[in-house]
Structure 1
Amino acid sequence: MPKRGDRGGAQTRARIAAAATDLFLKRGFEDVTTAEVAAAAGVSKVTVFAHFDRKEDLLLDRLPDALDATRSAIRERADGTDVLEAIRRAALALAAQRHPLSGLSEGAEPLLRTLTGSTALISRLRQFEYEIEKELAAELDADAHFRGDSALVAALLVAAYRTVAVDTVRRRLAGDDLTEISEAHHSRLEHAFEVLTTGIPSSTPQPHNR
């Protein structure tokens, strides 16, 4: 597979992904073949699969960026910054930029409809959740300053982010105002990390003062 730092390889990968996305949005994911994507991008099927492991990754081509962002947040955080705080800042930065990974980018509705309308793409996203959870746990294990159950923390982080992202997608497809969605996304992320940091508030009734 071409190295990600290979400029020519990166350009070819981007061209293939762009051609695939255009076809998928016009005709639906299941109704487009890999051969058609290759023809539209001006490459062979062999070249397509040299850059992408599976057809689903042609549309979900930014998933490796999510892994890179997670690694960078942990490895490049400032001295004295907690791991959870570093990941919180990274997630909020993506939201503030309305980065495609946040689900808040302008005009994303056609892509989101294509994604949610395909069982194969949804299955690939669920598989990716497991992949990034494993990667996150490994990063936490390797971090000299992290103290805690890396597998549990990774699972909770992925579940929290998925919950926020799913609601954001649902509201976008329902036609809600993007500014309001962005504000709610930001607020729920903040709350999610607060819960992860401080714990779930007790539901035990407090005695009344007499």
Structure 2
Amino acid sequence: MTMPSDETPSDRRSRKRLATRRAISLAADRLFFERGFENVTVDEIAAAADVGRMTVFNHFPRKEDMFFDRDEEARETLREALRQRDSRVPPIEALRLLAHQLVRQQTPYLLFSSASQSFIETVENSETLKARARAIRDEIAEELAVSLTESVGQEAGDAKAKLAAAMLLASWSVAFIEAHRTFRQGRDTEKAKVVFLALVDQGSLGVKAAMAGTAYA
């Protein structure tokens, strides 16, 4: 789901490419929200964005990628939080603090609002999108495990890092789902934020307990 970004490339070619990518994603979102993911073809998206079919595939190899177009941005945010953390702050705590920062900054993929409900409902009504969301979560867990080991100088493939990453992603996923459910029930954004962060905090406590005695906690 595309939303405005403060990061705009400086060179003309990159700006043009980004503008085309955003146009395709916005056109795709509108059609997906109106008709459902499975009921929209790539040709229809290309026509709505006023580009050729191959242009769409040049930017998005799969139709699902148009919907989850902020996926890489979210992954880089996690990696950057661990790369930039104060060495006095354990990795698990750095990620907990990141959740609070992202909510405070109203990061697009952690908004709980009427606009975000269209995104959630479209996922819930599509088996393809639900499968891709699960795959993305698993991929991020693997990447997060690598970032955790790198952040503390452990060898790659550390089983404890894999466990910590899986637990963190599970708790964040539950928090995300429950926060959106809370908003849907009461249309209260602030209450949804509280629910999300409370569950992230609680999940982080569990991961810290499980990782006690390691460099991750």
- TM-score, length-normalised on structure 1? 0.85
> What runs of 5+ residues in structure 1 fail to find an aligned partner?
201-210
2:26 partner SS: helix
Instruction: Report the AA paired with residue 197 of structure 2.
Output: H
Q: Structure 1 residue 26: deviation in Å?
A: 1.2
| Residue of structure 1 in register with 2:207 after alignment | 196
Instruction: Report the AA paired with residue 87 of structure 2.
Output: D
> What runs of 5+ residues in structure 2 fail to find an aligned partner?
1-7, 212-217
Is contact 1:103-1:168 (8 Å) kept? no
**2:174 aligned with 1:163, yes or no?**
yes
Bigger drift between 143-152 and 127-136 goes to: 143-152
Q: Structure 1 residue 70: deviation in Å?
A: 0.7
| Residue of structure 2 in register with 1:109 after alignment | 117
Is contact 2:114-2:187 (8 Å) kept? no
> How far apart are the structure 1 equivalents of 2:70 and 2:59?
13
Instruction: Report the AA paired with residue 22 of structure 1.
Output: R
Q: Structure 1 residue 154: deviation in Å?
A: 1.0
> How far apart are the structure 2 equivalents of 1:164 and 1:146?
29
Q: Structure 1 residue 19: deviation in Å?
A: 0.8
> Number of paired residues?
197
- Residue from 138, 141, 149 that aligns with 1:133: 141
Q: Structure 1 residue 113: deviation in Å?
A: 1.1
Is contact 1:95-1:182 (8 Å) kept? yes
> How far apart are the structure 2 equivalents of 1:89 and 1:40?
40
Q: Structure 1 residue 118: deviation in Å?
A: 0.8
Residues 168 and 91 of structure 1, relative CA distance in 2, 3 Å threshold: same
Q: Which has the higher helix share?
A: 2
- Residue from 160, 180, 190 that aligns with 1:179: 190
Instruction: Report the AA paired with residue 78 of structure 1.
Output: D
> How far apart are the structure 1 equivalents of 2:113 and 2:93?
24
**2:94 aligned with 1:83, yes or no?**
no
| Residue of structure 1 in register with 2:16 after alignment | 8
> How far apart are the structure 2 equivalents of 1:24 and 1:71?
30
- TM-score, length-normalised on structure 2? 0.82
| Residue of structure 1 in register with 2:101 after alignment | 93
Instruction: Report the AA paired with residue 74 of structure 1.
Output: L
> How far apart are the structure 1 equivalents of 2:134 and 2:177?
12
Select the structure of larger CA radius of gyration: 1
